[in-house]
Structures are given as structure tokens and as C-alpha cells.
Amino acid sequence: MRRPNLKQIETFVAVADLGSFSRAATRLGTTQPGISQRIAALEAALGAVLLERDPGSVRLTARGRDLLDPARRVLRAADDLVVASGNPAAFDGVLRLGVTEMVVHTWLGDFLARLAAAYPALAVELTVDLSVTLDRDLAERTLDLAFQSGPFAHPASGSVPLGTYPLTWVAAPSVAAALGPGATLEALLAHPILTHARDTRPYADVEDHVRRAGRKTPRLVPSNNLAACIRMTAQGMGVATLLDAMVAPEIESGRLARLDYAWTPEPLAFFARYDAERAPRFVSLAAGLAGEAAAAFVADGKPALSSA
């Protein structure tokens, strides 16, 4: 009888985690028939039925549930062997990475360079989206690792702090000059307020701030694309409260100016989040590199409150 091999064990774990042969095929870069063949070979080698296949669903059998944790331990031991070998090029595969737009416009390039240098055989599939969407995708295991800000609807057993980033008020220089020093809330509310998307903490903070001040609901212009939001603000279409790290280059170039208003939304704390119990070893290693890149960004004098 032939012993199970790592590909078969990896496939079993992927199907169990994703609940689908087709999703496991996408995850492992193969075909659905290929997944079926690996599972059949593994079941034959172990002399046990591991999965029940119904139309549209896959479920673990009782024996499959018993063997899932030992299968994970085999994969983790293989990863530990690679780490112990001191040969980072032995880590291959695909890292499914989700990031928010702030990360894209700040230290993502440095992180990717560090990752390529440390693990040259590792490929990256990059998704840029809202933190709330990344949170969902991480919970559904369509992402391995997410660089995002809270709050989080789903727990993650692995987390590396990436810094806490303040927001600031900005406007086109002509709008800022008209508002003058010590801008009042009434003066701000005379303009549309451009900010982060609806399902974000900055948007909720602005809305709450105005309501607590007893003023009418502001003309909020939420945007899923913060780069477009910055451009619209620079064109004089309103005032904006955005992450300082993102608008700093525009302020330095003179396309935007900071506004003198005493209140800003709460700073956003960012984390590298992943499933420490199920993710391949390279995911936690990549999260550590993200922490290094974010800390270097802060050490370089970029706007962030801290790296922890």
C-alpha cells in the first residue's frame, strides 16, 4: 500500500477548509478532477472515507474529522522542516493577500520587496478593498492574510500590529484660505465633506460628531476610492477628512492644505490578520515582514502614531 503524499494531505485540508472541490482546485492551482483524484488516492491509502460528496456540498465524515488535525500537523511539520533548512526559496505557493487603499499608497511596495527577497518562490495574489470586505473574505478563507483596520466582525487567531494612523482635515489651498485659521463646524458644513466609505469608522465618526454638536446632517460624500477622493478635494469640490499618511504627499506638493479644525475622527489601528491555526507557515512569516515594513515607514518620519 502506498503512503499518502503531501499533495494529497494538502488537498484534503484545503477541501475541508473551503467546503468545495472547485474552490480547493482554485486555491491549489489545479483542476477539480485533479482534486478528486488526490482525495480518492488518499482515501485508498488510508483505507477510510474522508469526505461525503453531495450535489453542491462536501462534508467531512466522522473519520475525516478525526484525521483533519493530524493532517494539519503533517503540513505544519513540513513547513517547520523548510524553516529549519534555512532555505527560504523552498517556500513556494500563492499568498492571497488583501490590503486597504491606505496600505497601497504607503508601505505596500516595501513589504512586497521584503517578501520577494525573503521568499523568492512565493507568488502573491493581491486584492485591494474596504476593510469590512477583507474581514469577510478572511473569515471565508478566500484570503490568507489581510492588512486592515478595525473594527472587525470576525475573529482572527493571528494578528500583528501595523501601526495607528491619524486622520486630518484638508482642502484645496483656495478653500483652506477662505476658511482661515480656527475653522468652525458651521464653516466646514458649508462645504460637502469627502471621506471614507459608508461602512468605515471615519464616516461614522464624522456623522456622530455633527449629530452630537446638534447640527443638521452634513453633506457627506463617501468614497470607496480614496485616491479619487483626494483628487476631488484638490479640485475644490469640498473639504475632506482622510488618513494623514495618504494626503501627506499632496500637502507637501501644495495641492492640498491642512485645515485648522480642533476635532478629527479617531485614528485607525491597522493589523496583519490571518488564521494562525490553519494558514501555511509562510503566512505568519509574511505578517511579520509586514510589521517590519510598517515600522520602517513610521521610523522614516511618516504620519503614524506608533508601530504597535
The model's pLDDT over 138-151, given as tens digits with 9 standing for 90+, comes to: 998 889 999 999 88
C-beta neighbour count of 70 within 10 angstroms:
9
pLDDT value at 236 more than 80: yes
Q: Residue 164: CB partners within 8 Å, gap ≥ 6?
A: 267, 268, 269, 270, 304, 305, 306
Composition of the chain by helix, strand, coil, percent to 5: 50, 20, 30
Q: Are 169 and 306 in contact (CB under 8 A)?
A: no
Q: Give the pLDDT of residue 282.
A: 92
Say whether 167-258 and 6-85 share the same fold.
no
Which CATH code for domain 90-163+270-299? 3.40.190.10
Confidence (pLDDT) at 308: 40
Residue with cell 447640527: 215
As a whole number, mean pLDDT of residues 295-302 equals: 84
Query: How many C-beta atoms surround the C-beta of residue 260 within 10 A?
Result: 12
At residue 53, φ and ψ (nearest 5 deg) are -105, 115
Task: Tell which wins on pLDDT, 298 or 239.
Answer: 239
DSSP bridge pairs for 220: 193
Determine the pLDDT at residue 307: 43
pLDDT at 242 over 90: yes
Q: What is the structure's pLDDT at 264?
A: 96
Reply yes or no on whether the pLDDT at 305 is more than 60. Answer: no
State the average pLDDT over residues 216-231.
90
pLDDT value for 302 = 66
Confidence band for 109, pLDDT divided at 50, 70 and 90: very high
For residue range 243-296, what is the model confidence (pLDDT) as tens digits?
A: 999 999 999 999 999 999 999 999 999 999 999 988 888 999 999 999 999 999
Q: Which of 72-76, 81-85, 119-123, 160-164 has the lowest mean pLDDT?
A: 81-85
- Please state the pTM of the whole predicted model: 0.85
Q: What is the mean pLDDT of the chain?
A: 91
Percentage with pLDDT > 70 across the chain: 97
For residue 237, give the 3-state DSSP assignment.
coil
Question: What is 6-85's CATH number, 1.10.8.50, 3.40.50.720, 1.20.1250.20, 1.10.10.10?
Answer: 1.10.10.10
Say what the pLDDT of residue 299 is.
85
pLDDT at residue 303, rounded to an integer:
65
What pairing do the DSSP bridges indicate for beta strands 239-243 and 51-54?
A: unpaired
Of residues 47 and 305, the one with the higher pLDDT is 47
Q: Which CATH architecture has domain 167-258?
A: 3-Layer(aba) Sandwich (3.40)
Q: Flag whether pLDDT at 53 surpasses 60.
A: yes
Residue written as cell 503512503? 3
Q: Contact, 179 vs 226, CB < 8 A?
A: no
Looking at the DSSP bridge assignments, the partners of residue 97 are 126, 145
Q: How many whole angstroms separate alpha carbon 302 and alpha carbon 293?
A: 12
- Which residues make Cβ contacts (< 8 Å) with residue 64, sequence separation at least 6? 12, 16, 48, 49, 50, 51
Domain segments of the chain as ranges: 6-85, 90-163+270-299, 167-258
Cα–Cα distances in angstroms (integers) from residue 91 to residues 64, 75, 110, 260, in the given order: 27, 12, 20, 50
Q: DSSP 3-state assignment of 147? A: strand
Whether the predicted pLDDT of 240 surpasses 70:
yes
